[in-house]
Amino acid sequence: MNQNLPNIYSFQVKKVNGEDQPLSAYRNKVLLIVNIASGCGFAPQLKELQQLRDEFGDDGFEILGFPSNDFGKQEPLEGAEINSFCEINHGVQFPVFDKIRVRGAYAHPLYQFLSDKKQNHVLTSHPRWNFHKFLVNQDGAVEDYFFSFTKPLSSKIKKKIQRLLNSNSKK
């Protein structure tokens, strides 16, 4: 891991109650940052995301969910309604933040950073649909991304998370 890479820790996001949440609160954790939507055909991935968090959460892993209405207007809910949907229908206990834009000129600065190699110095990958996943290492640097159709419990994702968690335990 290169600690000199730009990282996500300078960004703030909004919780559903309107409070600011600095991403520096997740320092030293491996993160999977996912744009979610309650009306999307991929919404069942919320349950798998929670299972992934259950599997690796005690080892320094967290999932951050960012509802977005950018694709097919598939997130009609607002604020606490989104959290309730995620908790009641899919058992979600990981942080779900306020709805944001994740693509285009009006994308949230976090997603501009995640999506653009000129900013993150690692990769360019703009979300093409809901449930696009960005993997971020313990230093807050972008490591990889996974398209919507890559299931959260796939061996591809789990192996990369485990590798990052193992590399941190050797520090």
| pLDDT tens for each residue of 56-86 | 999 999 999 999 999 999 999 998 999 999 9
Per DSSP, helices labelled H in the chain are 45-56, 79-90, 109-115, 117-120, 155-169
> Does the structure show a pLDDT above 90 at 5?
no
The percent helix, strand, coil of the chain (3-state, each to 5) is 35, 20, 45
Q: Mind telling me the catalytic residues?
A: 40
Q: Domains along the chain?
A: 8-169 (3.40.30.10)
95 pLDDT band, cuts 50/70/90, is very high
Task: Write down the pLDDT at residue 170.
Answer: 58
- Identify the band that residue 169 occupies on the pLDDT scale cut at 50, 70 and 90: low
* Gap between the Cα atoms of 99 and 84, Å rounded: 14
pTM of the model: 0.95
